[in-house]
Structures are given as C-alpha cells and as structure tokens.
Amino acid sequence: MSTQPNNPAQTSGVAPAQPRFGRMDLAMDRVVDGINRSVSWLLGQQDEEGYWCGELEADSMLEADYIYMHTLLGTGDRGKMERCINEILRHQNADGGWSLYPGGPSNVNYGVKCYLALKLMGWSAEHPVLIRARENVLSLGGVTECNTFTKIYLCSLGQYDYDAVPAVPPELILFPNWCYFNIYELSSWSRGILVPLTVLYAKKPLKKLPAEQGIDELFVGGRANANLHLRYDTKKLFSWRNLFLLFDRIFHWAERIHIRPLRKRALKRVEEWLLARFEMSDGLGAIYPAMLNAIVALRYLGYSADDPQVIRAMDEFEKLGIDCPEGTPEYPTPTFRMQPCFSPVWDTAQVLSTLGEAGVSRTDPRLLKAADWLLSKEVRHKGDWAEKVKNVEPGGWYFEFNNEFYPDVDDTGEVLLGLKAVQNPRERYQHDVEQRAINWVLAMQCKNGGWAAFDKDNTKKIFQYVPFADHNAMLDPPTVDITGRILEMLSAYGYNRTDKRIEAAVQFMLKEQEPDGSWFGRWGVNYLYGTFLVLRGLESVGLSYLETPVQQAAEWIRMVQNPDGGWGETCGTYDDPDQKGVGPSTPSQTAWALLGLLAANDTRSDSVAKGIRWLIERQHEGGDWDELMPGRNGESYYTGTGFPRVFYLGYHLYKQYFPLLALTTYKKALEREQLEA
C-alpha cells in the first residue's frame, strides 16, 4: 500500500495548513490551501531540464511581419501563413483595426501591416474584413502616419518610396565610441533592430507585387496625391527635429547622386557586427524584430538561402512560432502565432524565488535542478554593455535561452534572488557566480543612482528627435521598478543604506515618486507594477513604513482598488496617466497591489482582506489563475510592458507566480505578527 501523502503541501515541502487566525472574515486554512495548490501547479509546469518558460504573448504585428518576410524572400510554409491570417483575424477590433494590446484603440501601423498581410495572402480589397480595416486606417490618417520601420518594409514591396523615408545609413556603425552619436548610445533593442535595417536601406530591395496586392487605397486621397515626405515643425523653426530633417534631406540628396564613399566599408562592418552577435545567441538579440531584420539583411548582403548562417538564423526565428492546427479550447480555429522571444531565465528565476518564499525546501531536488540550470546560463563574455562599462568582469544573466551579448540588470537581480532559495551542494561555485553578478550589477548603476535594463547612462534625449526614432524606444534610462528589485536583491546579500550606492538608489526612487504617491512602471503595467517594486525595495533596505512616501503610496493603492476587491490597470495608462490604476481586476495586478500594501506594513486593512479573498475565490481547482478577457476569442489582458506606447506583452506565468507570492507574503506577515504579539 502506498505511503505517499495526499496533501500537496507535504509533497511540495510547504508547511501543512494551520488553524485560522487573522481577520475573522479570512480563513487562513483557505489561504494555505491556495498556496499549496499553486505550488503544486507550478512544480507541475517545470521542464525536465529544470527551467520554467511560459508563453509570451504579443500583438498581431508579429504574424503580419511573418507573412511580409516570407513574401519578400519567397520562403515560408503556406499552411502556417494561412493560419497566421486566422490569428490576425482573432485580434481584429470591432472598428476594423488592430491594437497594441487586447481592448486597446486601433493603431495605424498595425492596421496597415495586417491589411497588407491579408492582401499578400490573396484577399480581395472588397472583402468585408478589408473594407472595415481600410476605413479604419484612413480614419487614422493613412499610410503616411506610419513609423519608419513600417515604411521601410513597405518600400521593399514597392508600396512606399525610399526617398521619402528617414535615412538609416549603414555608415552609422562607423562612428567611433567617443562620438556623441555612436550606436552604443542607442538602446540595445534599437541597436539590434536598426543595424540590420541599415542593410535594407542601403540595398533598397524591391519586390514588385501584383496590382491587386498593392495598398494604394490606404493613402488618404490615393498614393498619387499623398505627400510622403516628412514634415518640418512649422511652429518652431529652429528645433532639433528640423535640424535633423535638414541633415536627412542632404543625405538623401547625396544618396541619389551616389556620394557614399564609405558605403562598402560600412556594410562590411555591419556584416561583421551581425555575425559576431549570432554567436552564443538564439538569433540576433534573441528578439523577434532584430531576428527578422537580420535574416533579410543576410540575404541582401549576398548570403544564399542554403547558407549555414541563413539556415541557422531562420531556424531560430521559426522556433518562436506556436502552431495550433487544431485550434485551442478558447479559440477552436486553426492558428499559427509568433512569440516575440522566449522568457526561460526570467520565469525560472521568478518561480524559484517564489517557491522558496512559499516554503519549499531549500534542498528540494526540483529547486536545485532549476538553480543549476540558471547557473549554467551565467554570462561569461563581454557584450555590448562593455562598450561603456570598462574594467568589470562579465557576470549576470539574460532573459532568453541564449543571448550572451545582452545580459540585463533586471534578470540578474531576479536570478540572484532565486538562487537564495536553494542550499546548493556546489556552494563555493554558486557563491563565486553570485559575487561576479553582484559586482557587474553595481558597475551598471547609473549616475543618478538608478539602474536601467541593458546599458548604463543610456539617456541622451537628443536621439528622440532623429527622424528614424519615431518608434519611441531609442533610450534605456534608469527606472524605479528595476531599481526597486535591485535593492531587494542587494539587501538579501547583506547590503544596506550605509553603502553610498544603496542610499543613492533610495534617493533616486524617492525623487521619482508621483504627486499622488504612485511610481511609474517601465517594464510592467503600470503604476501598480512600479509602486509595488519600489515599496518592496524600500522595505528591504530598512526605510520605515511610517515614512510619508511609503504611506502615500499605500493610500494610493487602496484608493484605486476595484469594487470587486481586486486591482487592474490597462496599457492605456501610458498614453493617459489620468487613468492610472483603472482597469478590470487581474490576478497579476491584484498580487502586485497586495505586495505593495504588505511592504508598507498594511496587513489588516479591508483592502488587503478583500484582495486576498479576490485571489482565493478566483483560483481554479487545479491551483492556477487566468486573465482571459470576456468575449475576446480567448485573448488575455496584457500586464507586461515591452516599450511604453509601442509594444506590450502577455506573460502567461505572471498570473501564476505573482499571486502565489502575494498569498505567501500575506501568510508570513500574519505569522510574524502572531509571534510578536
């Protein structure tokens, strides 16, 4: 007869349910049961190699660009491309357009790209779907309102004029590092996208489409009557925008009469730069747009379709796809969708640290396996960050499976928190890895005391006026959400406010607080994310919960709680801050709010009680939560931020490990109060 326990708490290493205590209307045994079921669910999702990796969901631009790339290169699986169309249609708004996130307003770039994708797959302009899409695009100003990236893609298919798009010359890569405008002053993601894009601009590929696949009808008044060129700022004659536009027109003039003496050298340098960054990486930057541009760049640099570099780059790109030829329970139509990248290091670190907080044994073999997997992903080579940060040994972690050139501070901080959850038999080895990573993080601290994601002091705002910077993601400035996480991590390793670097970070965060008490969230949606991470960071380094900034933040969180007891916030708050804290309740954002309140020592308010009850009542029997939007074909709320106002993400595991962390933190807070009573 089996002697295995039936209680998931015992199999997972979490303490069994305790008697009720705390508020009369909160049964602690229900909280403990919810924790145990969540722990069991998460452990059941672990890959046999030791990592966790939830799906990373994004918008339909990815499927549209997938069709574009394969059409341009004459490649691709027709069946997958047809299923891409079904995925695009799944996300179409009622007004005919497509948005940056489910439930958001229609976006002209996405409308143009999705419309073009449908036509490339043979759809007629008179199809009712395209009629509605066309009306929406025209209402938003038509093709001329699109950004540079979209326009260059259109140029390669003969749907826009190269002379009318901002110049993205490969000569940019020749600027030395001491030059104010060198490429390492751009954000790492812009660098990865723009460097291969310079090849498209230089080579100016042109694949002529049949007339019926053209999109002239998306130009207000028709393409023949449209003013395609960028417009000067008429309100302010002397401005950085006008100056850069003047230089842009001069460059176009030189391009037309073939004055480009450094072009051959520049393209060679671009090629070398790309090939170097393919190594130890799952494609350029291991992110979708850079990978796509790199494939196209290789082909127009003369690499054949059967060249090993092209095959490898294409294979890594195709791995991002999720093929559902039978559909899904939420949306039974066959679809093929693309992920913007993979998130195994991030998810594994978050799950590991959360399971440790939940009481899973530090010697549990599943946690040790996860820790060893993370240790195997340590960065040991210098990447782009080393162009500005000298004399520090490589260390830290990236976001994806392999992306050696682009470790980031946020992942590194979370991995270090995760490693605290285990007692590793390789104690000395893990200690050495941790110390290298901490030294690297400290070297990456910016002048103002905060930390950014990939680079140090990447803050030159002048780049926002460059004509091709209209994707609004040129810089990687320090942010309070990352800084809060780093303070929490450094505190776990013994650092405190007596260290000048810690105090500088505290002062940076306090200076960034909004008048209403909240903090902006750069990498999660939005003020709920920023506020909870700042409060946890401040708590970890000993800032009293009685301090005014902490109490103001807690009061703001309580003020924006929804009547149902949960919290929610939409991506639209990046466009309209007046809507901060407003949105349908979601498990991840409710967890963030609770974690913020608990960090402010609020354990007994009605807000906390209602929030905990909201999480418990919406947990599924199997231990998980969902964030599905009602009536939206299986679409979920997006609570992750790629680039504010540009690109948003749905992390499928956010709604699992953050609620678990909130329940665990609540339970431990009440236990601590009992001991102190």
Residue 244, pLDDT score: 85
Query: Can you give the pLDDT at residue 467?
Result: 82
User: Where are the domain boundaries for CATH 1.50.10.20 in the chain?
Assistant: 1-44+517-522+539-677, 57-338, 343-512
Q: Residue 247 corresponds to which tokens in the numbers above?
A: 């230089």
The pLDDT value given to residue 187 = 94
Q: Rounded to an integer, what distance in angstroms lies between the CA atom of residue 278 and that of residue 286?
A: 9
- Answer for the pair 517, 509: CB distance below 8 angstroms, yes or no: no
pLDDT average, residue stretch 579-599: 98
Chain centroid offset of residue 492 CA: 26
Contact between residue 171 and residue 179 where contact means Cβ atoms under 8 Å apart: no
Burial of residue 539 (CB within 10 Å: 0-12, 13-18, 19+) is buried
Across the range 321-343, mean pLDDT stands at 94
Catalytic residue annotation: 410
Burial of 327 (0-12, 13-18, 19+ CB in 10 A): middle
Asked if residue 235 has pLDDT above 80, the reply is no
Is residue 305 over pLDDT 60?
A: yes
Strands (E), 162-301: none
What's the rounded Cα separation, in Å, for the pair 617 and 31?
A: 10
Q: How confident is the model at residue 180 (pLDDT cuts 50, 70, 90)?
A: confident
For residue 531, give the H/E element and its range: helix 527-540
**pLDDT band at 566, cuts 50/70/90?**
very high
- Alpha carbon distance 155, 112 (integer Å): 13
Q: What are phi and psi of 396, to 5 degrees?
A: 100, -175
User: Angle at the Cα of 225 (from 221 to 226), degrees rounded to 5?
Assistant: 80
Contacts of 376 (CB under 8 A, 6+ apart): none
- Pick the closest to residue 412 from 387, 449, 361, 375 (CA basis): 375
Q: For the ranges 284-298, 453-467, 497-511, 603-617, which has the lowest average pLDDT?
A: 453-467
CATH fit for domain 57-338, picks 1.50.10.20, 3.40.50.20, 1.10.443.10, 3.50.50.60: 1.50.10.20
- pLDDT-derived band at 18 (thresholds 50, 70, 90) equals very low
Q: What's the average model confidence in pLDDT over 439-461? A: 97
Domain 1-44+517-522+539-677, CATH number (from 1.20.1200.10, 3.40.50.620, 3.40.50.2300, 1.50.10.20): 1.50.10.20
Residues 163 and 25: their CA atoms lie apart, in Å, by 68
- Could you give the percent of the chain with pLDDT greater than 90? 86
CB-CB contact of 535 with 550 (8 Å):
yes
CA distances 500 to 364, 389, 445, 453, 647, Å, are 37, 19, 12, 21, 36
Closest C-alpha to 460, from 471, 446, 449: 446
Q: What is the pLDDT of residues 84-143, one digit of tens each?
A: 999 999 999 999 999 999 999 999 999 999 999 999 999 999 999 999 999 999 999 999
**Letter string b/e over residues 624-648, b meaning 16 or more CB atoms within 10 A of that residue's CB:** bbebeeeeebbbbbbbbbbbbeebb
Cα→Cα distances 18→4, 427, 542, Å: 21, 33, 30
Window from 392-396, 416-420, 669-673 with minimum mean pLDDT? 669-673
Secondary structure in 3-state letters for 50-117? CCCCCCEECCCHHHHHHHHHHHHHCCCCHHHHHHHHHHHHHCCCCCCCCECCCCCCECHHHHHHHHHH
What phi and psi, each to the nearest 5 degrees, are found at residue 628? -70, 140
Residue 582: the pLDDT is 97
Task: Give 524's strand partners.
Answer: 640
Radius of gyration of the chain (CA): 26
DSSP 25-57: T--HHHHHHHHHHHHHHHHHT--TTS-----EE
Token couple for 119? 């036509």
Indicate if the pLDDT at residue 231 is higher than 80: no
pLDDT of residue 242: 83
Q: Which fold has domain 343-512?
A: Glycosyltransferase (1.50.10)
In DSSP notation, 441-464 reads: HHHT--TTS-B-SSSSSB--GGGG
Is pLDDT at 12 greater than 60 in this prediction?
A: no
Helix spans in 91-187 (H):
108-120, 128-139, 148-156
Give the per-residue pLDDT at 11: 43
Grade residue 291 by pLDDT with cuts at 50, 70 and 90: very high
Beta strands 335-338; 640-643: pairing state: unpaired
DSSP state of 430: H
Name which residue leads in pLDDT, 364 or 225.
364
DSSP 310-323: HHHHHHHHHTTEEE
Mean pLDDT, the chain, as a whole number? 93
Which tops the pLDDT comparison, 476 or 242? Answer: 476
What is the per-residue pLDDT for 524?
A: 98
